[in-house]
A and B are shown apart, each in its own frame.
Chain A
Amino acid sequence: MSISPGMQLAEEPGSVAADTRAATTIRDGGRLGRRAGRRKGLFGRIGLNAWALVIIVCSIFPVYWMVNMSFTPSNQIISRNPSLLPLDFTFKNYVTAWTREAAPGQTDFPHALGSSIIVAVAVVVVGAVFAFLASIALSRFAFRGRVFFIVAVLVVQMVPGEAMMFTIYNMIDDWRLMNTLLGLFIVHLAAVVPFTIWTLRGFVKGVPEELEEAAMIDGCTKAQAFWKVTFPLMAPALVSTGIFAFIQSWNEFLMALLLLKGYNLTLPPWLNSFQSATEATNWGAVMAGSTLITLPVVIFFLFVQRRMVGGLVAGAVKG
């Protein structure tokens, strides 16, 4: 699906504290420069900071502009001299975005919000259960076909869902799930599960089996040992993979656009319709809608950003 496998989680086999490891790796990047920095003259330091400022401004500006415009009254938005701050601060755009239907006969924001949350939460919960069970099988059992399945998961993760958009459309149609949230849920679920299995497997492997064995010596059954010892250690990993699945489902546009209509739209197709219908008259409301959609993702992102790159790099530098 158009779900980016790029959101790799920290996955460091052989370490319980995989996430702290990833965080250290990122911080360690600083080692390189510190020494070089000391040798740099004042001029170089100013130039460097100026360049850093350019990066900051370029990265932030569109986000800032969106928020700025979302609080600006529409008559000022279409002025020839845009203001850098919302001087006539207004919430009216948010009210419009919240209440007006996306286009005639289509859903309004609260309904789309509900649909998005239902699909995303279901994907997170069911995906976590599926992937968690699979990751236990892959890291705690030896069986014929295990390596094959691991490779298959990796391959399946790379299958471009958008290439199959019409085949999946037909399938969903044949199952009478067209224009239902259940249909979109299944599509999103299949898109996040391979990635979640792959990531969780690394985490389960990172919890030493000796811990479980110790619990079993103390009288636990294998299942109890797993549930009471390994599972709590896995909780952070489950939370962050869950957040990733949520973001991916929340942002997914193509299949939602293809499978949903009218009152069942999730937020991305809602924004698309709302923009097409309102852009000529009310850009402020479109910006308010965009801000509302962006907000939850940014908050979640701040939670998990530390774990984001660790996995990819930890593996790549090892070889």
Chain B
Amino acid sequence: MSATLTEPDAAPRTPTTRPPRPPKGSSAGARKKKPLPWAPWALLGPSIALLIVMVVYPTIVMFITSFTNLEIKNKMLGTAPDFVGFDNYLEIFTDSQFPQVLARSLGLMVVLTVLIVVFGMLIGLTLTKLSKAWRLAVSIALLFAWAMPPLAATVVWGWMFDTDYGVVNWALNTITGTQDWRGHGWLENPWSFMMVLVIIVTWQSIPFAAITFYAGLGQVPDEVIEASSLDGASAWQRFRLIILPYMRNVITAVLVLETIWNLRIFTQVYSLQQQGGLASETNVLPTYLFRQGIGEFGTTAAIGVFMMILLMSISYFNVRNSLKDEEEL
């Protein structure tokens, strides 16, 4: 330890660089070789039991179920289902709906993620340029959009886009000075349904991205920005060549998280469908699965396994990112 105590003085450092990690591991290793080998396991016990029962076990059960023809009647009669191999998977991929739902989910995910990251970055940059009072006002406003429960938000937005009395139709009529938008049903057409959905989800997700990017922008050293502008770099060049490289990790983290969340949206889609969307034309993966209902557990398990593999393979990047942050686990 004594060697490391002098470390911080050895070289001046900026707040963004960390000193080399003190060789704490060696002393920790010695210190941690203590009795009570059972103690950590006793402390972890409740969590391990919970996660095994509620996450690991159902995952395995779902995986097995996806290869059987388990149905509700098996449960009621207490009979065992048969193994059917890959039949369920074949069925969902040849089913007329599923591939379409998958494509819609992926398309929606791409659109949402791009919009959220682009606008998030734009607003994050805006925050850095604003005066203190304006910055506070914008942050609080963003916070409201962020804090609103997704279901309540969707109900309110759905009402704003209401066919007869929605404020959007009223505003469009007032702006255009016509009655063209009177009785315009936004949710009836699948494409305009998706547009409304994109507005709702983006509205609610931008604050997280914007505030995260803003915090990340604070880590870009002033000196480098200043030097580059003295060298004649334009605003766009400064952004592309200086800020982006510094922000790479933050952007990757937000991209991965948004990709996952945008594939998992259920509440907004379901609630909007309740308010007038045609479910069969607007389903995404989670709502499609939900609307399969209780009955054919084999098929729904196969859809679940597919969703899980898809999402977990994207999550791999998130797990890796999080672990990278932990130099010493």
- Residues of chain A at the chain B interface (Cβ within 8 Å): 2, 4-6, 13, 22, 25-33, 35-37, 40, 48-49, 51-52, 55-56, 58-60, 62-63, 65-66, 69, 77-82, 129-131, 133-134, 136-138, 141-143, 146-147, 149-156, 158-160, 162-171, 173, 186-187, 189-190, 193-194, 197-198, 209, 250-251, 253-254, 257-258, 268, 271-272, 275-276, 279, 283, 286-287, 290-291, 293-294, 297-298, 301-302, 305, 308-310, 312-319
Contact = CB atoms under 8 A, between A and B. Distances in A.
Given A251-B150, A272-B274, A287-B156, A193 B47 contact: yes
B95 interface: no
A171 B127 CA distance: 48
A141 B304 contact: no
A276 B137 contact: no
Task: Give the most central of A28, A69, A308: most B CB within 10 Å.
Answer: A28
Contacts of B292: 166
A309 B58 contact: no
A170 B297 contact: yes
Interface string B293-329: 0100100110111011001100100110111111011
Contacts of A268: 149, 151, 267
A48 B137 CA distance: 14
B311 A163 contact: yes
Contacts, number: 351
Contacts of B141: 55-56, 59-60
Contacts of B303: 163
Interface stretch (B32-40, B106-114, B188-196): B32-40
Contacts of B294: 166, 169
A110 B58 CA distance: 34
Contact of B222 (A32, A152, A158, A173): A32
A287 B148 contact: no
A173 to B, nearest CB: 8
> Which 10 A-B residue pairings sit nearest by Cβ, starting from the closest?
A315-B325, A190-B54, A142-B32, A28-B218, A158-B315, A29-B218, A301-B147, A33-B128, A137-B43, A316-B249
A271 B62 contact: no
Contacts of A209: 31
A253 B37 contact: no
